[in-house]
A and B are shown apart, each in its own frame.
Chain A
Amino acid sequence: MLPIVVVHGGAGHIPKDRSEMSTAGVCSAARGGYTILRGGGSSMDAVVEAVSILENNPCFNAGCGSVLNIKGEVEMDAIVMDGLTLGSGAVSAVCNIANPIQLARLVMDKTSHSCLTAEGASQFARSMGVPEVSPESLITEYSHMRWAKNLAPDAKPVESQMWKMGTVGAVAVDSEGNIACATSTGGMLNKMEGRVGDTPCIGSGGYADNQVGAVSTTGHGEAIMKVTLARLILFHMEQGQSVEAASDLGLAYMKSRVSGLGGVVSVDPQGRWAARFSSLQMSWAAAQTETLHYGLYAGEHFTQSLGGGPL
């Protein structure tokens, strides 16, 4: 059952004309992560690769393609976590870099800290030689159009976002049994400057523990934080719930206690996995034992051999 990687491209309501791109994107990310695992690479390498692919893909709300804050700028959050050491690296409100997930990993690997924010995160990026990219290179016509539309006084950005695009993430278990997670986002549409959501908050945007499993979350950030969704799901798994049941319990609790919708990808140390969501859709893909699994709407579960097939 090992190795395995599961990725998501956001929970919400993806409009039909974008759903094909979204599915193709997560499949490509799952393939990328799995190639690393199959070559003997670590789960951390795999999740960072998968998420980097999604950050580079302009149709996801991470890296290029990120939603804009109220000022029309991109501010990004990301986290990685290592299930062996419980070490993590996170960045929040970082600007002008292409791959926040890689910067998050540098925080974990090269500093004695777990999280750097705003200007400090940018300073660190420069000190690591991470290339600075122009703000425009991260902004797509689509994200600009959504930002402008939501400036209207009667606009409802949270609903509007839930219905269009979300955070990206991945979980993986490698052949040595080491577990990792990674999550990255441009955050919430038209958010206040400096708004940080669940993504870079350990236990909310993601959590990984070799003894229990890993989760990466997406959905309404403030709701995810209130219930520390990733950690909550893993608590259920610690108590004997299956990956799927634990994920559903966490999502149901978030819906009933704080009226929030979202989705998760989860995995346990044996490689059992789940892609579950309380929103209308979540684009997701998993690669395991030479098979690619993917879906978008609730109940969908397509498979094809990793050796061939359209995706």
Chain B
Amino acid sequence: MSAVVVVHGGVWAIPEDLAKASVDGVKAAARQGSSVLKGGGSALDAVEAAVRAMEDNPAFNAGHGSALNADGEVELDSIIMDGRTLASGAVASVKNIANTVSLARAVMEKTSHVILTGRGANLFAESIGMATVPADELVTENEWKEWDKQKNYVAGVMEDFNSQWAHDTVGAVAVDSDGNVACATSTGGIRNKMVGRVGDSPIIGSGAYADNLSGAVSCTGHGESILKVTLARLILSHVEQVNGNT
């Protein structure tokens, strides 16, 4: 069984001047994930490492470099899932955390819950000693400029996919040498989203899903559309049908 990690840095019409940073970023993230796997690490460790690398990279809409909501703040969503046990951890609408994929993993491993949201998620982060970062550290100058230009969200969505304004969600899937699969997805969400808007990313079956019996998927794109079709779970159900294990 050969170990594999696959990452994505978002789907949108990436402009020329950002293209190199994006491609360099996903390559670096894939390398991070790969070295974890080569060292005998688990699929979970690999996807977390890959997504952390992209959260730390301001070229992507996750962690550092996230989009701003309607109030000019950063609210972050993440999910991680273990295909062996179907255990999952997710956080939604979290503030001032640089690596929400790791917070999502802590929800999975240190609580009996799957999702924590808002203030509750931040309180949990505090309780496990996860460092907070000042909000402006997560926001790039370019993001402030674009946010300002794009106060109207509806116009923004159409432009995002027809032109070059948006960044997008990041994610990774992996299978390790034991045959275990895992996935992780992380995002700052859509620029100018309503306060408290939660997209597909932290929603199990939509933003991501992993099952040793069929595989793992991490999604990116228009969150509300991904939710309507529970995209990650849909893709794996097609795999299940071909495998005959439904």
Is B153 located at the chain interface by the 8 A CB criterion? yes
CB < 8 Å neighbour of A88 from B120, B157, B205, B228: B228
Q: Of all chain A residues, which has the CB nearest B115?
A: A196
Q: A39-52 interface mask toward B, CB cutoff 8 Å, 1 = contact, 0 = none?
A: 00000000000000
* Chain B residues whose CB sits within 8 angstroms of the CB of A221 once the complex forms: 114
Say which residue of A86, A116, A194 sits within 8 Å of B229 (CB atoms).
A86
Q: Is the CB of B198 within 8 A of A226?
A: no
Question: Which residues of B are found within 8 Å of A111, using beta-carbon distances?
Answer: 194
Chain A residues contacting B153 (CB-CB under 8 Å) are 112
Report the bound CA distance from A88 to B228 in whole Å: 7
A239 to B157, CA, bound (A): 35
Q: Which residues of B contact A115 (CB under 8 A)?
A: 197-199, 203, 227
Contact call A228/B205, Cβ cutoff below 8 A = yes
Interface residues of B in 59-111 (CB under 8 A from A): 75, 85-88, 92-93, 111
- Complex: A115 Cα to B226 Cα, angstroms: 13
Interface of B is mostly: mixed
Asked whether any CB of chain A lies closer than 8 Å to the CB of B196, the reply is yes
A72 CB to nearest B CB, Å: 14
Does A149 belong to the interface (CB within 8 Å)?
no
Pick from B92, B199, B204, B237: contact of A204, CB below 8 A. B204
| Interchain CB contact under 8 A, A118 and B204 | no
Query: Do the beta carbons of B87 and A226 come within 8 Å of each other?
Result: yes
CB of B183, distance to nearest CB on chain A (Å): 13
A227 within 8 A of B: yes
Q: Which of A114, A191, A226 contacts B88 (CB 8 A)?
A: A226
The 8 A CB mask of A170-214 against B (1 = contact, 0 = none) is: 000000000000000000000111111100011110010000000
User: Is B119 part of the binding interface, using a Cβ–Cβ cutoff of 8 Å?
Assistant: yes
> Do B113 and A112 touch (CB < 8 A)?
no
Residues of B within 8 A of A119 (CB): 118-119, 195-196
Q: List 6 A-B contacts (CB under 8 A).
A: A115-B198, A118-B119, A119-B196, A201-B115, A222-B114, A239-B241
Q: Are B116 and A194 in contact (CB under 8 A)?
A: yes
| A257 on the B face (CB < 8 A) | yes
Interface size class of A (residues with CB under 8 A): 35 or more
Q: Smallest CB–CB gap between A229 and chain B, Å? A: 10
How far is the CB of B119 from the nearest CB of chain A, in Å?
A: 6
Q: Nearest Cβ in chain B — how far from A242, in angstroms?
A: 15
Docked pose: A75 CA to B120 CA in angstroms: 11
With beta carbons under 8 angstroms apart, the residue of A112, A114, A197 that contacts B154 is A112
Does residue B193 face the partner (Cβ distance < 8 Å to A)?
yes
Closest to A195 in B: B113
- A92 interfacial by beta-carbon distance below 8 Å: yes
Tell me, rounded to whole Å, the shortest Cβ–Cβ distance linking A222 to chain B.
5
Min Cβ gap A85→B in Å is 8
User: Which of chain B's residues 107-161 have a Cβ closer than 8 Å to chain A?
Assistant: 111-121, 123-124, 153-154, 157
Q: Is A134 an interface residue, CB under 8 A from the partner?
A: no
Whether A112 contacts B112 in the complex (CB less than 8 A), given A117-B93, A120-B196, A227-B86, comes out as no
Question: A236–B233 contact, CB under 8 A?
Answer: no
Which residues of A, 51-108, contact B by the 8 Å Cβ criterion?
75, 85-88, 90, 92-93
Query: A93-B120, A113-B198, A114-B227 provided; 7 other pairs, C-beta below 8 A?
Result: A90-B198, A112-B157, A114-B199, A120-B118, A120-B197, A191-B113, A204-B205
Establish whether residues A192 and B116, one from each chain, have CB atoms under 8 Å apart when the complex forms: yes
* A222, B113: Cβ atoms closer than 8 Å: yes
A158 interface residue, CB < 8 Å from B?
A: yes
Q: Is the CB of A194 within 8 A of B118?
A: yes
State whether the Cβ of A121 lies closer than 8 Å to any Cβ in chain B.
yes
Using known A-B contacts A117-B198, A120-B194, determine if residue A202 contacts B246 with beta carbons closer than 8 Å: no
B224 and A114 within 8 A (CB): yes
Binary contact track A218-260/B, C-beta < 8 Å → 1, others 0: 0001100111100100011001000000000000000001100
Cα distance A235–B238 in the bound complex, in angstroms: 10
Q: A135 to chain B: closest CB distance in Å?
A: 15
B230 in contact with A207 (CB, 8 Å):
yes
Do residues B205 and A192 form an inter-chain contact, with CB atoms below 8 A?
A: no
* CB of A289 within 8 Å of the partner chain: no
Which residues of the partner chain A approach B203 to less than 8 Å between Cβ atoms? Answer: 115, 201-203
Contact between A116 and B198, CB atoms less than 8 A apart: yes
Q: Which residues of A contact B123 (CB under 8 A)?
A: 193-194
In the complex the two chains form, is A195's CB within 8 Å of B237's CB?
Answer: no
Smallest CB–CB gap between B21 and chain A, Å? 29
Known A118-B118, A207-B230, A225-B114; judge A113-B193 contact (CB<8 A). Answer: yes
Could you say which residues of chain A place their CB within 8 Å of the CB of B227?
A: 88, 114-115, 202
Which residues from chain A contact B87 at a C-beta distance below 8 Å?
226
State the CA gap A92–B199 with chains docked (Å). 12
Specify which chain A residues have a CB less than 8 angstroms from the CB of B234 in the assembled complex: 231
Which of A86, A90, A257 touches B228 (beta carbons < 8 Å)?
A86
Interface string of A256-269 (1 = CB under 8 A from B): 01100000000000
